[in-house]
C-alpha cells in the first residue's frame, strides 16, 4: 500500500496550513466569543479555491480530488472548526449535489458563484419535527398554473442560513408516498417568501451562523428543480455520504489541534518537580490519543479514496464514509476531553483553546447523521438486514 501524497496534494496542504495559521487561528477565539461570521476569511478562501476544491475549473473550482479536500479541511478545522463547517457545507453538500445532479446552467450559475466566494451556499433537509427521520418532512412544494413551484414550510438547523444566497432544499412534491415523494430544489434567498429566523445560540462552532428558515408561498421557477422529481431523498442521502467525509475531516482537525496542544503542555508543565509528560497516567492518555487520531485520519483518507474510486468506476462509498465519520467524531470528542483533563484548570479556561476544541468536537457526533445513525448505516451494510 502506498500512503504517500501527490505533489499537488502536498502543495494544497501546505498552502492551506499557512493560510489557516496566519489568517484564521488568530481570530478564532474572538469570533467564537462574539458568534461573528468570518465573512472576510470565507471570501478569501473562495479566491484560493477552498470553497470548491473538487469542483472542475470550468465552474470556478480548484479541480482537485477528495484526498486534497480532506487535507485542506483538516488544516482549516485545526485552526477553527466553525470556519471548516462553512467550508464543508459549501464543498460537500451544496456544490457536490449540484455537480452530480444539476444541469449545465445550474452548475454555471450556482456552483460558480459559491466556489469563487461570490455567494455562500447552504443545505436544507432537517425540520423542527424531523431530524434523523428525514423522510418525515412537512415542507411542501406544489405546482402553480405556470408549472413553477410554490413552497411552504420550515427547515431548522441550517448552517450558513442567515448569510446564504443559495440553498439546496428538500421538500415533499408528492404527498402520501414517503421518501419517494421528496424532490430537491435550488432556492434563491433573495426571492419573496423566504425568511431566515434568529441565529441559534450554539454550544460550539459559534462563528458558523445557523438558523431556522421559512418559506411562505415562495415561488420558485420550474427550472430550479434539482435532478428529477421524486428523486430528492436519494439525492439527499447520496450527498450526505460525501458530507460525512467532510465532517470526519473536521473532526480529525479538531482532534489534531487538541493533541498537539497537549503534547506541548505535557513537555512544559511541571508538577512535583517533573514535566507532567513523564507521569505514566499522562503517558497512557497521550498514547491512546495518538492511536485514536491516527485511526481517524487513516479511515478518513480511506473514505476519500473510496469516493474517488466510486466516481471513476461506479459503486458506493457510504459505508466507508460512515465508518470514518463515526470513528473521527468520537475520537475528536474523546481526545479533546482528555486534552482538557491533562491541562487541568487551564484546560477549563477560555485563555486557552482547549475548551473551544471540546465544545466544537461535540457537534461532529451529531450533524450529518448522529453516531447512532452511523452505526445503523454500518450495521445494515454489513449484515444486509434492515
Distance CA 81, CA 143 (A): 40
Distance CA 326, CA 331 (A): 8
Q: How far apart are CA 260 and CA 91, in angstroms?
A: 27
| Rounded alpha-carbon distances, angstroms, from residue 187 to 158, 307, 369 | 14, 27, 23
Other Cβ atoms within 10 Å of 97 Cβ, number:
25
Give the strand pairing for 194-199 and 182-188. unpaired
> Are 143 and 224 contacting, i.e. CB atoms less than 8 angstroms apart?
no
Asked if residue 292 lies in contact with residue 120, where contact means CB atoms within 8 angstroms, the answer is no
In contact, 162 and 235? CB cutoff 8 Å: no
98/353 Cα distance (integer angstroms):
36
Per-residue DSSP letter, 127: B
Between the alpha carbon of residue 312 and those of residues 111, 228, 305, the distances in Å are 21, 23, 11
Nearest in space to 25 (alpha carbons), one of 253, 246, 210: 253
Among candidate residues 220, 97, 211, the one with its CA nearest the CA of residue 164: 211
Residues identified as active-site: 368
From the list 355, 351, 328, 350, the residue with the least C-alpha distance to 339 is: 355
Euclidean distance between CA atoms 59 and 207, whole angstroms: 28
Matching residue, cell 457526533:
365
Task: Tell me the C-alpha to C-alpha distance, in Å, between residue 5 and each of 65, 67, 125, 384, 386.
Answer: 11, 8, 35, 34, 38
Please enumerate in sequence order all residues whose Cβ is within 8 A of that of 354, keeping only pairs 6 or more positions apart, or say none: 258, 261, 336, 339, 340, 343, 346, 347, 348
Helices (H) and strands (E) in the chain, counts: 14, 10
Amino acid at each position: 500500500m502506498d500512503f504517500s501524497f501527490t505533489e499537488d496534494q502536498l502543495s494544497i496542504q501546505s498552502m492551506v496550513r499557512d493560510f489557516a495559521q496566519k489568517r484564521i487561528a488568530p481570530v478564532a477565539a474572538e469570533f467564537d466569543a462574539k458568534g461573528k461570521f468570518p465573512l472576510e476569511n470565507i471570501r478569501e478562501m473562495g479566491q484560493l479555491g477552498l470553497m470548491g476544491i473538487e469542483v472542475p475549473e470550468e465552474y470556478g473550482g480548484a479541480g482537485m480530488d477528495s484526498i486534497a479536500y480532506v487535507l485542506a479541511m483538516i488544516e482549516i478545522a485545526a485552526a477553527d472548526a466553525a470556519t471548516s463547517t462553512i467550508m464543508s457545507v459549501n464543498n460537500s453538500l451544496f456544490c457536490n449535489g449540484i455537480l452530480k445532479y444539476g444541469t449545465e446552467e445550474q452548475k454555471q450559475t450556482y456552483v460558480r458563484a459559491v466556489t469563487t466566494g461570490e455567494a455562500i451556499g447552504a443545505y436544507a433537509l432537517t425540520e423542527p419535527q424531523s431530524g434523523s427521520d428525514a423522510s418525515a418532512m412537512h415542507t411542501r412544494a406544489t405546482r402553480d398554473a405556470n408549472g413553477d413551484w410554490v413552497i411552504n414550510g420550515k427547515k431548522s438547523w441550517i448552517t450558513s442560513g442567515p448569510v446564504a444566497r443559495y440553498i439546496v432544499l428538500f421538500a415533499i412534491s408528492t404527498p402520501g408516498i414517503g421518501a419517494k415523494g421528496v424532490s430537491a430544489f435550488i432556492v434563491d434567498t433573495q426571492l419573496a417568501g423566504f425568511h431566515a429566523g434568529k441565529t441559534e445560540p450554539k454550544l460550539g462552532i459559534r462563528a458558523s451562523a445557523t438558523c431556522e428558515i421559512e418559506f411562505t408561498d415562495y415561488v420558485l421557477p420550474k427550472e430550479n428543480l434539482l435532478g428529477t422529481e421524486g428523486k430528492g431523498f436519494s439525492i439527499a442521502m447520496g450527498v450526505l455520504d460525501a458530507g460525512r467525509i467532510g465532517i470526519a475531516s473536521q473532526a480529525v482537525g479538531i482532534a489534531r489541534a487538541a493533541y498537539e496542544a497537549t503534547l506541548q503542555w505535557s513537555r512544559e508543565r511541571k508538577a512535583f518537580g517533573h514535566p507532567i509528560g513523564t507521569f505514566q497516567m499522562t503517558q497512557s492518555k497521550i498514547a491512546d490519543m495518538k492511536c485514536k487520531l491516527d485511526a481517524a485520519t487513516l479511515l478518513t483518507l480511506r473514505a476519500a479514496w473510496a469516493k474517488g474510486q466510486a466516481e471513476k468506476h461506479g459503486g458506493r462509498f457510504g459505508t466507508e464514509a460512515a465508518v470514518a465519520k463515526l470513528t473521527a467524531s468520537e475520537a475528536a470528542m474523546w481526545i479533546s476531553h482528555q486534552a482538557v483533563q491533562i491541562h487541568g484548570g487551564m484546560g477549563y479556561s477560555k485563555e486557552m483553546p482547549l475548551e473551544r476544541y471540546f465544545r466544537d468536537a461535540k457537534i461532529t457526533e451529531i450533524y450529518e447523521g448522529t453516531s447512532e445513525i452511523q452505526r445503523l448505516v454500518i450495521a445494515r451494510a454489513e449484515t444486509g438486514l434492515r
